[in-house]
Amino acid sequence: MAPTNNFGIALRGWRERLPPSTSGLESATGRRIPGLRRAELARLAGVSVDYVVRLEQGRARNPSAQVVTALAGALRLNTSERDHLFRCANLAPPSGGAVPMDVPPRVHRLVQQLGDIPVAVYAADWTLVSWNRMWTTTIGDPRTYGWDQRNLVAGMFRSRGGHRVDSIAAWPVRSWAGNEAEEESLVADLRVTAAAYPGDARLTLLVDRLLDTSPRFARLWSNGTASLHTGDRKTIEHPVVGDLSLDLDVLMVPGSDLRIVTYTAVAETDDAEKLDALRAARHR
């Protein structure tokens, strides 16, 4: 069975939805479809009509990045649609410029409305950009963390005498997987972001600085592992309620490349009771 012609399906659908007038073409009467003809798309993209036909029919399945870029431009695709077209061609979408740091209003609203659990928002390079009051109550005020540019990875690879700093937040936070596994997971995630944003000077400087100052980071960076950091289980040495073991989950925000990080406790446990006590203290 031949694989589904996802590229051709997308190409034809977007061609037929685009009014000719949008591309500066005259809308002649008697059209069978309201959108562009294949010849018109071919002219706008600078390719042959025969090639457009073969792409739509699935007889050509490996267009170059240059051709996909030209077709996406001719079809007036937005970023998500352009990236989808690249993936349909088995190509990596074009790299972005800088890692987005802006928190959309809907995300900020969500963070504040989830007031009963600790929630924070990180950029794709693990720069902390937003948090709620319960986060401060549970993990401490991020303004006291001492991370360079509020970046978690930079904070994690601080060292004294070549050894990891025990506390990477306001008070010690330990991963159940262990320091090595936690560090490897975050470095692998950062590598994915670095590949997606090769033009981000700030991110490049961060990686270069860590390579120069942290042998641990340099060793993990050189192993080539690339994967998203999706969660962990942490024990927080809290100064009020004592050791607090919570599940950390990382939720991706579509269209903005942000990470929403939450801490939650298993129901009906001592940890859940401790989290309840912190909620009550927050309202006093």
For strands 128-131 and 159-160, give the pairing. Answer: unpaired
Mean pLDDT of the chain: 88
Q: What is the fold of 105-282? A: Beta-Lactamase (3.30.450)
Q: Which CATH number fits domain 6-88: 2.40.30.10, 1.10.260.40, 1.10.10.10, 3.40.50.880?
A: 1.10.260.40
Phi/psi for 24 (5° steps) reads 80, 15
Q: Which pLDDT does position 161 carry in this prediction? A: 45
pLDDT for residue 254 is more than 50: yes
Could you tell me the pTM of the whole model? Answer: 0.77
228 burial class (0-12, 13-18, 19+ CB within 10 angstroms)? middle
Max Cα–Cα distance, the chain, nearest Å = 78
pLDDT for residue 150 is more than 90: yes
- Would you list the domain boundaries of the chain? 6-88, 105-282
38-53 pLDDT tens trace: 999 999 999 999 999 9
pLDDT for residue 246 is more than 70: yes
How does residue 264 score in pLDDT terms, banded at 50, 70 and 90? very high
User: Which of 56-65, 112-121, 156-165, 254-263 is the least confident region?
Assistant: 156-165
Strand order of the β-sheet with 128-131 is: 128-131, 119-122, 258-264, 242-253, 231-238, 173-175
Question: In the numeric block, which tokens belong to residue 150?
Answer: 């509020």
Nearest by Cα to 76 from 27, 9, 15: 15
